[in-house]
Each structure stands twice: as C-alpha cells, then as structure tokens.
Structure 1
Amino acid sequence: MSSGTHETWVPPTAPPDREAATRLQEWLDAGGTGGIDMIGLDLSGADLSGGVFQESWFTDARLVGTKLIDVDLYRSDAEGADFSGADLTRASLVRANLDDAVLRGAVLDGADLVKASLYGVDASAASLRGTRLMGASLIDVDFRGSDLSQAIIQENTFKVIVDETTKFTGMSGTLFGPVQVISREGNKEIGGAELERWLRELGGDVQVLERRW
C-alpha cells in the first residue's frame, strides 16, 4: 500500500457513533498519518476497509460488525477490543496486540497475523481460512467452532481450546501444544505425537514440536 494512501483514503462508511466519527475525521483532516487513538470508542457498523492504521490504539474499542477488509493494523494495540462479527479479510495484523480481544464470529480469511499476540482471545466460530499465523502467540484462545482450514503456522505456541466442529483441513506448519479438546465425552488435553496424529486425521499437515528447555 503506497505512502500516499493516507491522503486519499476515505472510509466507505463512517462510524455511526458521533464521537468515533469525529475522531476519525479529525485524524483524516490532519493528514491521516501516524497512529490514531480510538481507545474505548464505538466503531461498530462502520466500513473502514482499505484504511492504514499502523501503530494505532484500538484498546477496548467496539468494532462489532465493522468492515475492515484489507486494513493495515501493523503494530497496533487492540487489547480488549470487540471484533464480534467483524470482517477482517486480508487484514494486516502483523505484530498487533490482540490480548483479551473478542473475535467471535469474525472473518479473518487470508489475514496476516505474523508475530501477533493473542492471549485469552474468544475466537469461537471465527473463520481463519488461509490465515498466516506464523510466530503468533496463541495462548488460551477459544477456537471452538472455528475454521482454520489452510491456515499457515510456524513454531506457534498453540495452547488453544477446540471442539469437534473446529476445522483443520489443509492447515500446515509447526506448533507447540498442548491443545484442549472439548467433546461430548468431556475435556481432554492432548499434545506431542498424539496431537500430531489427531490433527492429521482431521486433514491437517502439522508437525508438533517438543520444547527444549
């Protein structure tokens, strides 16, 4: 995305919330460069697709149902933000802080989450088809009902919660477990060779690594 994008970009649909819309407009009027402070604001229902928000602050913001297709959130802080039902298709979330965020039902197909931090995230029923997760920290992430088909991982910490409806078809790469599996028979934690076999049975091509202390 070119450096001039900031000056020409206009949000397809401004946030319905007046305070959030005013903050966004002030940032655009100032040239739309540098990080934007959206801490605690309500951007729900907006269409911010194509926006460049590198090193910005979306901490505790509400982005429920917000369209964020192709946005650039490189190194942004979205800790505790609510992205329920948001569309983050092909978004760049490289090195973003998403700790304690809500991604329930969100679409992150083809998104780039390389080296992002996801601790305590609710990503249940989310779609992460073809998502790049290399080097991302996935700790206590709820992936129940989520679709991780074709997702790419590389030496990821993958201490997540999944269930019988979580999809792993075509997921590839390497990870560190263990994974907590919730099924009708109860909860079970699996790691190592057992986890690797289990993922392969579900169509994944994943190598489970052993930690060396």
Structure 2
Amino acid sequence: MSSGTHKTWVPPVAPPDHEAAIRLQEWLQAGGKSGIDMIGLDLSGADFSGGIFQESWFTDAQLVGAKLIDVDLYRSDAEGADFSGADLTRASLVRVNLDDAVFRGAVLDGADLVKASLYGVDASAASLRGTRLMGASLIDVDFRSADLSQAVVRENTFKVTVDEKTKFTGMSGTLFGPLQLIHRESQREIGGSDLERWLRERGGDIRVLDSRR
C-alpha cells in the first residue's frame, strides 16, 4: 500500500477527545508516511474505518466503541489497549502486539490476526466469526461467551478460558490445548483427545495436536 493512500483518507468520525483529534490531524497533514503515536490517548467513539496505520503505537489507548472496520494495523503495538465494544470487522491485525488488550463485546468478524500476540487478552462476549487466527499466540485469553464460529486456527497454542456459551460451530484447523472450561461454579481442564472430542461435539472441525512432539 503506497503512502499516498493516506493523503486521501479522512476519518468518518474524528476522535471526540481534543488531544487525540489534534494528533491525528497532524499525522494526516504530514502525509501519514510513518506510524502514528496514539499511546495512551482516548480514541473512544472515533470511526477510523478504512484507515492504514501500519507499524503504529496504540499502546494503552482507549478505543471503546470505536469503528475500525477494514483498518490495517499491521505490525502495530496495541498492548493494553481497550477495544471494548469496538467494531473491527475485517481488520488486519497481522503480527500486532495485543497482549493484555481488552475486547469485551467487540466484533472481529472476518478479521486477520495471523501471528498476532494475544497474551492475557479479555475477549469475553466478543464475536470472532470467520476470524483468521493462524499462528496467533492465544495464552490466558478469556473467550467466555465469545463466538468463534467459522474461525480458523493452525497450530495455535489454545490455553484459553471458555464456558458453555462459547460457540465453536464451523471452527476449523489445528491447535494445542489445554483449555479451561468454566461450568457454573466449577472449572476443569480439557486437553488432548478429550478436547478434540469436546470441540467436535460443539460443531468444530478441530484436530488437537500433541504438545510433546
């Protein structure tokens, strides 16, 4: 993607926060040729749909309820960012650092998270329908009440927490367990062939790999 693309792109809705709006405007006026620094800024309620923010910094930023449809955050850092209720439909999050980020109730349908890092992420009640998760690090991720229907994995570490409301219909690929299942007031670990069977019972086409190989 050429840098000239940035010159014609304007956010459908600028960040309501004054400091964030000024930072974005300065970046656009400079041509958007390099990554933007949004560290710790409040971008909640903004609409950045279609924006290209490759190799940018959204560390600890607030993006609550933001629209990020079709955005490109390739190789960006969004560690600790809050995407609660945000719409990231078809977003490119390839190789993005999302450690400790919050995606409660967010929409990531059709998003590309190939080789993204998601340690300690809260994705409870998030929608990840058709999301590409191949090679992403999924460790200590909260997927309770999340929708992983049609999501695709490939040799993913899948040390996540789920519950009976988590959906796996049509999820496909390969992964390493184990996961933690929360059922009412109890919690149990499921791995190996038991995990593979459990996922298939819920409509997933998943092969669980042997972590000892």
TM range (shorter): over 0.9
**Structure 1 segment 18-29 matched on structure 2, within 5 A:** 18-29=18-29
State the match for 1:11 in structure 2: 11
State the match for 1:33 in structure 2: 33
Over the matched positions of the two proteins, sequence identity in percent amounts to: 84
For structure 2, the residue ranges without an aligned partner over 5 or more in a row are none
AA aligned opposite 2:86: A
SS in 2 for 1:173: strand
State the match for 2:187 in structure 1: 187
**Structure 1 segment 109-124 matched on structure 2, within 5 A:** 109-124=109-124
Deviations 1:112-136 (A, max 9, x none): 0000000000000000000000000
TM superposition score normalised by structure 2: 0.98
Counterpart Cα distance in 2 of 1:167 and 1:108: 14
State the match for 1:175 in structure 2: 175
AA aligned opposite 2:119: Y
State the match for 2:93 in structure 1: 93
Counterparts in 2 of 1:187 and 1:17: CA distance versus 1, 3 Å: same
Q: Does 1:67 align with 2:86?
A: no
Counterpart Cα distance in 2 of 1:203 and 1:154: 17
Counterparts in 2 of 1:132 and 1:102: CA distance versus 1, 3 Å: same
- Residue correspondences, number: 213
Counterpart Cα distance in 2 of 1:12 and 1:166: 33
Counterpart Cα distance in 1 of 2:150 and 2:12: 30
Deviations 1:78-128 (A, max 9, x none): 000000000000000000000000000000000000000000000000000
Counterpart Cα distance in 1 of 2:27 and 2:18: 14
State the match for 2:130 in structure 1: 130
SS in 2 for 1:71: coil
Aligned alpha-carbon RMSD (Å): 0.9
Counterpart contact for 2:3–2:31, Cα < 8 Å: no
Q: Does 1:54 align with 2:54?
A: yes
Counterpart Cα distance in 2 of 1:33 and 1:209: 42
Counterpart Cα distance in 2 of 1:3 and 1:100: 30
Counterpart contact for 2:104–2:124, Cα < 8 Å: yes
Larger mean CA deviation between 3-12 and 47-56 belongs to 3-12
SS in 2 for 1:162: strand
Counterpart Cα distance in 2 of 1:164 and 1:171: 16
Deviations 1:16-45 (A, max 9, x none): 000000000000000011100000000000
For structure 1, the residue ranges without an aligned partner over 5 or more in a row are none
